[in-house]
Amino acid sequence: MSTDFQKSVWAAIDKVPQGKITTYSEIAKFLGKQNATRAVGTAVGKNPNVPSTPCHRVIPKNGKIGNYSAPGGTQEKIKILTSEGITILNGRVQNLNQIMHHF
């Protein structure tokens, strides 16, 4: 069973368009819970709607790829992001400021 908070995180993720990324902290800020970055990360990891709710588009604010709990793990996340036009170099998203989705 999912919580209302988890559902709000998944709804926020659904707003991130293909070719863009966002961060756990950006979602927390959008939800009015600036100190809930870790809770956002936990909710992202429990996303039951992979890949239709595109949690692969959520990364840490340092630009690293981060984890991916769906089958294939981080390598699958990199593959999907690359197929969406996101450039990854040495485990980091490139041009972060240009592709960041702000709510």
Residue numbers annotated as active site: 55
Q: How far apart are the C-alpha atoms of 17 and 79, rounded to whole Å?
A: 17
Burial annotation 47-62 (CB, 10 A radius, 16+ → b, else e) = beeeeebbbbbbbbee
Contacts of 59 (CB under 8 A, 6+ apart): 21, 22, 23, 24, 65, 66, 93
